[in-house]
């Protein structure tokens, strides 16, 4: 690393986007990941769509569990 950097020509906020949305990664256990991967292949879709589909189909169950913890 240099001792000093020149930011005099820098532009503040150049990459700032106030409405930007970030998708945080969710890590599955290896056995679940393999299961979802195989299921997505059979359904000819990607893993993200498969996980979203599974979660949507179980939304009521998930919501009921949310209030019992």
Q: Tell me the pLDDT tens digit for each residue of 3-46.
A: 999 999 999 999 999 999 988 898 999 999 999 999 999 999 99
| Domain span including residue 42 | 30-67
- Per-residue pLDDT averaged across 40-54, rounded? 94
pLDDT tier at 51, thresholds 50, 70, 90: very high
Let me know if residue 49 belongs to a domain.
yes
Let me know if residue 3 belongs to a domain.
no
What is the radius of gyration, based on Cα positions, of the chain? Answer: 21
d(CA 59, CA 43): 21
User: Are 28 and 36 within 8 A, CB to CB?
Assistant: yes
Let me know if residue 23 belongs to a domain.
no
pTM of the model: 0.56
């Amino acid at each position: 690393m240099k001792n000093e950097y020149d930011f005099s020509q820098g532009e503040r906020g150049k990459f700032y986007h106030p409405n930007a949305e970030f998708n945080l990664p969710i890590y599955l256990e290896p056995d679940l990941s393999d299961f979802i991967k195989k299921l997505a292949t059979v359904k000819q879709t990607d893993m993200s769509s498969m996980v979203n589909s599974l979660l949507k189909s179980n939304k009521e169950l998930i919501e009921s569990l949310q209030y019992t913890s």
